[in-house]
Amino acid sequence: MRVNIRSAKRGKNERQGIHNWHPYYAGYSENFVEDILDYMHVNEDSVVLDPWMGSGTTGLVCQRRGIKTLGVELNPVMVLFSQAKTKSLLEYDMQNIILDVINKAKIIDTVEIYDNEEVLEYISEEHLLSLNKIRYIIDKSFEELEFKARDIEIYKCISSFLYVGIFRCIREIGYFKKSKNPTWLIKDVKIDDKIDVFELFLQITSTMIQDLKLSYGDINSNQTSLPDIKIGDSRNLQFKDESVDYVITSPPYLTRIDYAMSTKPELLYLGYKRDTDFNLIRRATMGAPVITNKQIVFNESWGVTIKEFLEKVSNHPTKAARSYYLPLYLQYFKDAYDSLSEIKRVLKFGGQASLVVQSSYFKDVEARLGDMYVEIGNEIGLESSILVREKVKQHIAHVNTKSSKYVKNKIYYEDVVFFGKR
């Protein structure tokens, strides 16, 4: 039977407006979330979890429908981006809040409380000082702003919105640009230091208010509680057993995408040190191209498809097959197994989960990731199947033009993997 679920691939319209706030490579379409909510019969009494929240599309669509959302994301920068997309911000006079922050920041002589000089790799000292003045007002002066806030959570969302304004300023004035690999940055020419950062911040955040309005439309419809989005780890979810009705998400794929690197300027600005805190986030990110544990061995509970894939990698003639790729893949599959086990734990009986994944290749060895997740799900006691499969035209592997020498005209698939807890 044909399942009527639109593609998870983002179209042109979902690469602008609210979706253009951040440099996030991954992410699925609003249409997909809409259709999967309908397919699973999610209603306003339900709780939906996204354990790899990323750019926050699950939360955005659920808020439109008045559905309670829980979000977990390891990267603190992306947590702020997701919180900044909160529908309830439109209940406040955000324009006056922005102007108040700017006016107070302009009269500060100096700010010395932030240990974020490493971001000077990307922006000028003069620009950093102006941004830190704005940040100081955001952090220290909320009690002076007159909000109609329901609770402390809305303060966090307002703060996140303003922080995203700072991040977008860094992207505008920074001397770097994207490389062919969308998660890596390369040095570019310096931007004119005479740019008025306060005026730029005003322009950016004012546009963001309009983006929110366009995205949510009538703010009086489908009133809901604030999305609960926190820094956390999919492998160790901080929720009670059987506390979630549905899961809609997309885990990192088996493509060695370096998500932490894509937000390096923002993380350095927040004070995450290059050789310590930043590196810890990078190493903890599932699917990152760094090996953290070479002692992991194959677990029979991962299934036959993963076993066969790992054996082919282990026996491959490529020089780094056993020394680098094998331990990296073992690490990924352990993370996938642990994460899916956690999803099962927090799902209520009768609960459902949908994961979007893509296939990939190691040289000439195909990694059918959708089938792999199905087998893991079956092994841990979930009813698991491929709900939708479609061919992928654009894939991160196309960045590497040499990959075609192993297999001509490689075909990649995007799968919607469906799980039920019975």
Give the CATH number, domain containing residue 131: 3.40.50.150
In a domain, 4, yes or no: no
Strands, E assignment, 305-382: 347-358, 360-362, 365-367
pLDDT band at 237 (very low <50, low <70, confident <90, very high): very high
Q: What is the mean pLDDT of residues 327-340?
A: 98
Long-range contacts for 307-315 (Cβ within 8 Å, ≥24 apart)?
309/362, 309/365, 309/366, 309/367, 309/368, 309/372, 312/362, 312/365, 313/362, 313/365
Burial class (CB in 10 A: 0-12, 13-18, 19+), 101: buried
3-state secondary structure of 124: coil
Distance CA 39, CA 5 (A): 8
In a domain, 412, yes or no: yes
Q: What is the mean pLDDT of the chain?
A: 91
pLDDT of residue 221: 58
In a domain, 6, yes or no: no
pLDDT band at 304 (very low <50, low <70, confident <90, very high): very high
pLDDT band at 223 (very low <50, low <70, confident <90, very high): low
Distance CA 105, CA 118 (A): 22
pLDDT of residue 177: 81
Q: What is the mean pLDDT of residues 153-166?
A: 93
- Sign of the dihedral through C-alpha 183, 414, 75, 266: positive
Residue 187 half-sphere exposure toward CB, CA atoms < 13 A: 5
Q: Which of 275, 68, 80 is nearest to 161 (CA)?
A: 80
What range defines the domain where residue 139 resides?
A: 12-420
pLDDT band at 187 (very low <50, low <70, confident <90, very high): confident
pLDDT band at 77 (very low <50, low <70, confident <90, very high): very high
3-state secondary structure of 358: strand
Share of the chain above pLDDT 70, in %: 90
Q: Among 54-63, 180-189, 345-354, where is mean pLDDT lowest?
A: 180-189
Task: Give pLDDT tens digits for 244-265.
Answer: 999 999 999 999 999 999 999 9
* Tokens coding 417: 């993997």
pLDDT band at 295 (very low <50, low <70, confident <90, very high): very high
Distance CA 21, CA 78 (A): 11
- DSSP conformation class of 307: H
β 244-249/47-50 pair status: parallel
What DSSP letter does each residue of 328-341 carry, written as one string? HHHHHHHHHHHHHH
Q: What is the mean pLDDT of residues 395-412?
A: 63
Number of domains in the chain: 1
Question: Which of the listed ranges 218-222, 304-308, 409-413 does the model predict with the highest average pLDDT?
Answer: 304-308
Given phi > 0 = left and psi -120 to 50 = alpha, else beta, which region is 303? left
In a domain, 126, yes or no: yes
Distance CA 85, CA 107 (A): 29
pTM of structure: 0.93
pLDDT of residue 1: 47
pLDDT band at 23 (very low <50, low <70, confident <90, very high): low
pLDDT band at 13 (very low <50, low <70, confident <90, very high): confident
The count of residues in the chain is 422
Most distant CA pair in the chain, distance = 67
Identify the residue with better confidence: 406 or 68.
Answer: 68
Identify the residue with better confidence: 233 or 92.
Answer: 233
* Tokens coding 129: 């000082």
In a domain, 1, yes or no: no
pLDDT of residue 180: 79
Distance CA 296, CA 224 (A): 43
In a domain, 370, yes or no: yes
Q: Which of 145, 84, 139 is nearest to 108 (CA)?
A: 139
pLDDT of residue 396: 54
In a domain, 3, yes or no: no
pLDDT of residue 222: 59
Q: What is the mean pLDDT of residues 330-339?
A: 98
In a domain, 7, yes or no: no
pLDDT of residue 225: 76
Share of the chain above pLDDT 90, in %: 77
Task: Give pLDDT tens digits for 370-386.
Answer: 999 999 999 999 999 99
Distance CA 257, CA 240 (A): 31
pLDDT of residue 145: 54
Distance CA 204, CA 123 (A): 17
What DSSP letter does each residue of 70-112 carry, written as one string? EEEES-HHHHHHHHHT-GGGGGS-HHHHHHHHHHHHHT-----
